[in-house]
Amino acid sequence: MAKRKELRQHPKVGLIYLRVSTKEQMENLSMEIQEARCIEWCKARGITVQMVFHDDGKSARTTERPEFQKMLSLIKSRKGQIGYVVVHDLSRFARNLENQVEVLTELGNANVLLRSVAEDVDETAAGKLMRNIHGTFNQFFSDRNAERTKVGMEKSARIGRFPFKAPIGYLNVRATRDSANLIPDPNRAALVKKAFELYSSGTVSRADALRQVTLLGLTTQKSKPLTAQSFENLLRNPVYAGWVVIPAWGLKERGSFEPLLTDEIFERVQDIMDGKRLAVVPNPRNNSDFPLRLFVRCAECSVPLTGSSPKGRTKHYSYYHCRNAKCRAITVAKSAMEDQFLALLHRLTPSREFLALFRDVILVVWKRKQVQAHAQLTAITQRLGIHNDRKNALMDRYLDGKIDQATYEEQSHRLTAEIEIAKKELCDAEENEEQVDGLLEFADRVLRDPAGLWVGASLDQRQRLQKVLFPDGLGYSMNEGFGTGQAPSFFNSLAGLEVTNSSLASPTGFEPVLSP
């Protein structure tokens, strides 16, 4: 009984909790002013201040604040020794009425009273009512500020500013009317760009790209290595191509900040990640003994073949076989299948006549199309410039208050769509030249002896070559083997070129024969 009476007296020992939510409040001595007034209040009432807790730059909409949680832990560990928690005002303690009630219950169970310097609250009925009224108003102001902040963020985003914390590779800066609120991070921007360039090549896996840029020094803002998930999120973020995209607001605007990479590289990365573009990378489940594993499919059930080396009486025997338990149509010796694959590569090797004429064929076709392509590029570039000028003029009118937000959004969305169409057309037109250059280089380096290259290559190189020649893999049956197979992507591309000059008709000497 005596112990309960002692607890109800509340020890004259208090803890002070301080909080500011903005950098400006930290710089204008708000924290020092709060602390001085709380100490003076305690001194006037004979309360000894045992410890001061302060959260810098933290919101009171949640109780998950480091110093706040430390204070609650201290109260639990010293139950009966702490009598008061003193704050400058209740908004420093909580801006969420539910959290306020929850923590007050926790303090009450520890026989600790909450006191505010600015508000006259206590445990009387009137004091509790006043405390709840203050808590309700604090939540109202907090909710209203959140609404205003969202409106401000959305308006800022619609003129090309990034309204959130800067992603890896950028830094937040204070924006002015004529400046952006993001700038490239001098320590990380080049490495982020490198990551996109590596993966967009289609010859480096996502894991290997992450490994390379990590070795070069790419880290999070907290100087920690990126996880596989965070790296995938980075590669998916359109901000690096200079776009502010917020699906929840139905918003996509060209950013006012400097992009780290072109739209073309970003879209190429998205296509590779979505499986829309060929990525010539080794299979992640490599087995050096079975280079055709998972590349060749069973012609009966279309399931990729696997490989195994069961042991006979005296040695191991290696086979490729269908792994579909309901099919099992394929079981063929490793050496037999690989010999048949080499025979297929030999059949696809161009003749000497073809190699001599190949470059001339391509260049004649390309020169014929070059004039038309140049005119198309010029027209698209001019149209893109007009659309960008119109959108900049629209933004100026909006910022000057000459048009309302609804009008700005409607016209901005229309112009953005037109700009996207023009940029896509420009990208497609520019890629034509890249494809021709790639075709010529491919012929010089690969076509002369694909079978010899495959035999002398490493496992990774074999799998890359297989994907280049047969991007969709190959089917195999016990009766027909590989058959004629699908024409490689190179020959498909060449077959699509039109040459009217009969003297440049495609020569024979390889399978499949190209159309003249």
- Each residue of 116-166: pLDDT tens digit? 888 878 777 776 767 667 666 666 665 666 566 666 677 777 877 888 889
Instruction: Pinpoint the residues of the chain covered by CATH 3.90.1750.20.
Output: 170-273
The angle formed by the CA atoms of residues 5, 10 and 13, to the nearest 5 degrees, is 145
**Proportion of the chain above pLDDT 70, given as a percent:** 70
Q: Is residue 437 over pLDDT 70?
A: no
State CA 401 to chain mean position distance.
35
SS (H, E, C) 435-501: HHHHHHHHHHHHHCCHHHHHHHCCHHHHHHHHHHHCCCCEEEECCCECCCCCCCHHHHHHHCCCCCC
Q: What is the pLDDT of residue 213?
A: 92
Q: Which residues contact residue 104 at a Cβ distance below 8 angstroms, ignoring those fewer than 6 apart?
A: 114
Average confidence (pLDDT) over 338-344: 90
End-to-end CA distance of the chain: 107
Average confidence (pLDDT) over 442-460: 75
Task: Please give the Cα distance from 374 to 381 (Å, whole number).
Answer: 10
Average confidence (pLDDT) over 47-57: 86
| Least-confidence region, from 69-73, 240-244, 332-336, 463-467 | 463-467
Q: Is residue 233 over pLDDT 60?
A: yes
CATH of domain 170-273: 3.90.1750.20
Instruction: Pinpoint the residues of the chain covered by CATH 3.40.50.1390.
Output: 2-153
Task: Please give the Cα distance from 56 to 23 (Å, whole number).
Answer: 8
- Each residue of 381-413: pLDDT tens digit? 788 788 788 888 888 888 778 888 878 777 777
Q: What is the pLDDT of residue 499?
A: 41
The whole-model pTM stands at: 0.42
Average of per-residue pLDDT values in the chain:
77
Superfamily of domain 2-153: Resolvase, N-terminal catalytic domain (3.40.50.1390)
Task: Please give the Cα distance from 445 to 438 (Å, whole number).
Answer: 11
Asked whether 351 and 509 are in contact (CB, 8 A), the reply is yes
- For the beta carbon of residue 294, count every other beta carbon within 10 angstroms: 20
- Each residue of 287-340: pLDDT tens digit? 557 889 888 999 999 898 988 888 777 888 899 999 888 898 999 999 999 999
